[in-house]
Amino acid sequence: MAIEAIDRTAKNIVLTVQEYSLFAYRAVMNLFHPPRYWTDFLMQCNIIGVGSTPIVLLSGFFTGGVLALQSQATLAQFGASAVTGRFVSLTMIRELGPVLTGIMVAGRNASSMASELGSMVVTEQIDAMRALGVDPMRKLVTPRLFACISMLFFLTTLADAFGIMGGGFVTVVMNHQNGTQYLSQAWEHLHYADIIQGLVKPLVSGFIIASVGCFYGMRTTGGTEGVGRSTIDAVVFSSVIIIAADFLLTQVLLTLFPPI
């Protein structure tokens, strides 16, 4: 019995991975053949990009602030509180900016994609769209995918900037250190390799958020309860995959662009 259960679970996992891969492949390839729904792309950019800006700015600002608080306490033990700016900017740009933005947007948009598409599936709106001769993959999934990838790029840069500002605010106002020193430390020790690392990650995170959110939405079954299940799965899996992909990507990027 136990072996049967393991066998069934393993097969389900392999099948889900296969379905997800085909789903993501179709969603990407749709961009290269008409029809393309640019209006839907722009609408999704507005929903994902503009809609997520407040939470990304706030989370970035306070993350930068808490980094400055924590690092200052530790760095002061070595007489190195002057390098707080360097620590905050590198951590925000290389790691926390992309990952936190990815997780915040996953919580907000992977859930909304899964619940919106899932509701459309259970109320037969997806079937109605297909019956009307419109491909839901092209109309609903591809615009969300590319809107999420592009918007996450810009949201991450905003989160990085506000994180450094948050760190600066704490450094100057709470830790009573020199602001110019903080900014020069943050700026001078930043290299292109750090920027590239910080801006490649959101592209991958954006792809993960939209593809996982839409995938779970489009395979919803079981009525309104199924919509809830899809929403949970979308948020959980997209968040976990973002962190796992970040780990792998960091390893690859550190190999390609070794720290100077």
Confirm or reject binding of residue 8 to other proteins (CB under 8 A): no
DSSP string, 36-70: --HHHHHHHHIIIIIHHHHHHHHHHHHHHHHHHHH
| Contact (CB, 8 A) for 126 and 136 | yes
Question: What is the contact mask toward other proteins in residues 10 to 39, using x (rule: CB under 8 A)?
Answer: -------------------------x----
13, burial (CB in 10 Å: exposed 0-12, middle 13-18, buried 19+): exposed
Closer residue to other proteins, CB minimum distance, 132 or 260: 132
Least CB distance from residue 134 to other proteins, whole Å? 6
DSSP string, 11-37: HHHHHHHHHHHHHHHHHHHGGGSS---
Q: Which stretch binds other proteins (CB under 8 A): 126-134, 169-177, 188-196, 240-248?
A: 126-134
Q: Which stretch binds other proteins (CB under 8 A): 44-52, 55-63, 129-137, 179-187?
A: 129-137
Closer residue to other proteins, CB minimum distance, 19 or 127: 127
Residue 243 tokens read as 């962190």
Question: What is the contact mask toward other proteins in residues 92 to 121, using x (rule: CB under 8 A)?
Answer: ----------------------------x-
Q: Which of 34, 54, 133, 258 binds other proteins (CB under 8 A)?
A: 133
Residue 118 sits at φ, ψ, to 5 deg, of -60, -40
Question: What is the contact mask toward other proteins in residues 180 to 219, using x (rule: CB under 8 A)?
Answer: ----------------------------------------
Report the alpha-carbon angle 118-15-208, nearest 5: 55
User: Which residue, among 112, 96, 193, 97, has the nearest Cα to 147 in the 3D structure?
Assistant: 112
Interacting residue ranges for other proteins, rule: CB under 8 A: 35, 120, 123-125, 127-135
